[in-house]
Amino acid sequence: MPELDVIAVLRETRLCEKLDDAALEVVAEVVEVVAYRPNQYLFHERAPRESVMLVAEGQVVVTHGIGQRPITLATLGHGAMLGERLLLGGPVHVASAYAQTPVTILCLSKAVLDQLAETHPAVHHQLVLVASDTLAERLDYSAARLAGAPATLPSGRYRDEHDLLGERQVPAEAYYGIQTLRALENFPISGTPISAYPFLLEALGCIKQAAARANSDLGLLPPDIAGAIIAAADEVRRGQWHDQFIVDVIQGGAGTSTNMNANEVIANRALELLGHPRGAYEFVHPLNHVNLSQSTNDVYPTAIKLALLFAITQLLEAMDELRAAFAGKADEFADVIKMGRTQLQDAVPMTLGQEFSTYGVMLGEDMDRLREAAHLCARSIWARQPLAPA
């Protein structure tokens, strides 16, 4: 592994972006380089703050919640800043962070920061100013989340992207791009992002993966680009990067925003896999490569049908467990006599086992109807291929 260029990394972080070369040398001399394994925690919520951390390499996931299923706030990468409230006197962490991949961190400990304040007050003052600006941005993020609007935890770093309407700054850690950003601003309707429906995202990953395979077979995509898109789409299928799907579930454009959100996330992840920075669309483009030979009018309806198939499959498994439980209770209560009930009145006596048996039969009938619906849904996707009876 090549030796880490600490000054180059510092120069690319929000914390040190305004420091001159001399100040960067000062900071570089006192940082500690620390490596973390995948799934290893950098810090825990409510633990004392011990250092300001700058991500040099790898991906870090920030979560919130103790004693429950934690909520993922953000996935941060190269150049991101963590624990900056230590510069402002914040005593404890308000979130947790763990390494999603092998991670290299540049750490500025509390003791080092105190020393900087004494020996290089101008440098320390600049770090405090940047920490203050970043904290204000994260308060805006918290306000947006409390208001029900999807938002991305900012690292303080941005990249410039452009479309036909002009240029916009996109958070550097985001896998989505300018089209998703505009959709987020144009359709703040329900406050529920499409990430609330993981089967839909899994379906979108399937479609983008299949399209890349077909385009590669037809010679329309170079093998390296096709391979990166296929790998990135497969990660989406397996549940990665779902926090990057932030457009509102209710939107104008017949699903165009959802399709573009998927195109941009997969394109930027494919760029990373090829060794390029996010937003370098001259190498992998959301439309020209990821969406090649496709239209939202095809992608979105197909994704919804696939999502229904995935959801029905899972629902049938749960219903079958419940049906089997009712059947077991039917046997267990076969000798328990009770009054029947018809039209809210007492009726002919029956067993409690018969009642539970009926519940199981009703569930079985509903399962048959769901299988029929799934069969019809599949036929609408693969209309030219003969299917076995449901």
CATH topology (fold) of 6-146: Jelly Rolls (2.60.120)
**pTM score:** 0.69
* Listed range (2-11, 107-116, 167-176, 368-377) with the worst mean pLDDT: 2-11
Bridge partners of 338, per DSSP, are 350
Q: Judge whether 255 and 203 are in contact, CB under 8 Å.
A: no
Domain limits of the chain? Answer: 6-146, 158-292, 303-381
Sheet holding 103-109, edge to edge: 32-36, 103-109, 51-57, 81-82
- Rounded CA gap, 166 and 228, in Å? 28
Reduced to 3 states (helix: H, G, I; strand: E, B; else coil), residue 17 is coil
Widest distance between CA atoms in the chain: 93
CATH topology (fold) of 158-292: Fumarase C; Chain B, domain 1 (1.10.275)
Q: Judge whether 109 and 9 are in contact, CB under 8 Å.
A: no
What is the average pLDDT value for the chain, to the nearest integer?
Answer: 88
Q: Judge whether 375 and 316 are in contact, CB under 8 Å.
A: no
pLDDT tens-digit map of 327-349 = 999 999 999 999 887 877 888 89
Does the pLDDT at position 212 exceed 60? Answer: yes
pLDDT at 386: 44
- Is the C-alpha dihedral spanning 218, 219, 224, 228 positive or negative? negative
